[in-house]
Structure 1
Amino acid sequence: MKPTANTRPDPEEIKELLQDDAASNPKTAKPADLKPGRGLDFLYDIPLQISVEVGRSKILLRDLLKMGEGYVIELDKLAGEPLDLYVNSRLIARGEAVMVGEKFGIRLTDVVSTSDRIENLG
C-alpha cells in the first residue's frame, strides 16, 4: 500500500529500518534514542521544501542574456510524461499535473518506498 499525504509511516517501521541500517553499517551510530515507548511524533513537524519539476534544459550564457518575454525554452521531457516531485532536493515521487481550484497540484502515480525514502535522508 502506498502512503498518501494523509497517512504517516508507522513509527515502529521507521525504528526497525533505522536499527537495521545501524546494524548493517558499523560506521553509523546506534540509535540509542529509539527505545520502546519513545515516540517519533516530534519528527512529523519538521518543515520540508517540496518542488515539482516539469523538465530540464541546458543553455548557453549568451542565450540566457537574449531571453525576453515570449522566449521559449525546450525541456527534455515530452508532453504527458510524469512530473518529478522532490522533497528537500531528493526525488520521492512522480505524478501528473492537476487543477485544485484555481491552482496547480500533482496527483502522485509512483511513490518511492518508505524504506528508500528513509535511506535517502542521509
Structure 2
Amino acid sequence: MASDLSNIFKDELSNTLEQLLSKSSQVESVSELNAERFSSTQVIEGSVKFEFKDITSTWNFYIPTISATKFEYFMLGGMGDLKEHIDDEITDAVNEIISNICGSFCTSVNAQGFSDVSSIKSEVKSSTILEGEVLSSKNNTYEFTLSLDEDKLPVIISFDEIILPYFSIITGKKSEPTTITPSSEVNTQKEVKEDKSVKTTNIQTPKNLELLYNVKLKLSVRLGTKVVLLKDILSWDIGEIIELEQMVNEPLEILINGIKIGEGEAVIVEGKFGLKIKSIGNDKLKFNQIGL
C-alpha cells in the first residue's frame, strides 16, 4: 500500500499560508469539488510537476478570485485597497505561494524517509488566469477550505490518477493489490532475496560504505522566515536588524543538500556560531533522505 501523504500536505498547506500571510491558518475541511459554485468567477491555475522515486505527477492548483485577492492583500500586510479582480500582480503572488507550499511539502515528505517515495521535488510549470467554468471538466478535483483568522477561503487542487493512492485519506483511492501466481511468487521471493543481498552489500558492509565517506555534502540550517514588503527592503542599510518568525528556543531544521535530516539548536562555540543536534535519524534513514 502506498504511503499516505494527505496529512503532511494539509499541514504544510496551512503552515505555509500562515507564514506567508501572517494569519492563523487551518484546513477546516476537504471535499470533492462542486464546480458550479465557481462557474461565475475567475481562477488562477498553477500547474506543478512532482517527481517521486518511480513516478512523475502533475497537480493543478486553482485559486478563485475570492482567495487570490485576499492572499495578495494579506502578503502586503493589509495595506491599500482589496482588489476585486485578478491581475498580474495577484497572479505573481499566488504563484509564489503555490511554489512555497509545494517546496515545504517536499521537504517534509523527504524528512520522513518513505521507501516508496524516497526523494521528491516539485517545479511550478505555469500559472494562468482562467474562467471558473474550466473546473467543470476536471476530474479528481478537491476543495480545501482554509480558515485564515475570520476568513474562510477555498483552495482547489486537481490530482492526476497516478498520485491518488498517495492521498487516500483525501481521495478515498488505495493501491490495487497485485495478484501473484505460484510461478511469479517464486520469482518475487527470489527478487526479494536478491534485493536484500544488494542492500546488505551496498549499505551494511563497512568497506563499501567507506567509498562514500569522502563525498562532499552541503550542510545548512533553516533559521527562520519572514514576509517583508518591497519598501522595507529598499530602506535597509548596514547594521539593520531584521526580526524573524523563528523563536529563540525553537529547534532549527538541519538540511543536507537542501533535505531535512534532523533538528537542532543554535549554540556558541569559542565565539563561533554552532549547531547542537537535538534529533536525527539512524544511518539507514540518513542515507534514504540524502538519496545515496
The answer to whether the superposition gives a TM-score over 0.5 is yes
What displacement does 1:93 show? 1.7
Given residue 255 of structure 2, which amino acid in structure 1 is its aligned partner? Answer: Y
Please, what is the CA RMSD of the aligned residues? 3.1
Aligned partners of 2:280 and 2:223: how far apart in 1? 17
Separation in structure 2 between the aligned mates of residue 58 and residue 114 of structure 1, nearest angstrom: 36
CA distance in 2, matches of 1:91, 1:40: 21
* Aligned counterpart, 2:253: 84
- Cross-structure match for 2:277: 108
Distance, in Å, in 2 between the alignment partners of 1:60 and 1:98 is 31
- Which letter maps to 1:85? I
- Out of 98, 103, 110, the residue aligned to residue 267 of structure 2 is 98
Which residues of structure 2 form unaligned runs of 5+? 1-114, 117-187, 189-194
Would you say how many aligned residue pairs link Structure 1 and Structure 2?
96
Identical pairs, percent: 32
Q: Which secondary structure does the structure 1 equivalent of 2:254 belong to? A: strand
Query: Distance between the aligned counterparts of 2:285 and 2:208, measured in 1?
Result: 21
- The 5 Å alignment of 1:1-122 reads 34=201, 39-122=208-291
Larger Rg over CA atoms: 2
Distance 2:275 2:224 in 1: 15
Question: Greater strand percent: which structure?
Answer: 2
Deviations 1:36-87 (A, max 9, x none): 9762211010011111222111223332222113433231222211122111
Q: How far apart, in 2, do the equivalents of 1:44 and 1:102 lie?
A: 29
Gaps of 5+ in 1: 1-19, 24-29
Give CA deviations for 1:10-33 in whole Å, capped at 9, x if unaligned.
Answer: xxxxxxxxxx87x9xxxxxx759x
Q: Deviations over 1:60-117 (max 9, x none)?
A: 3332222113433231222211122111111112112222212111111111343332
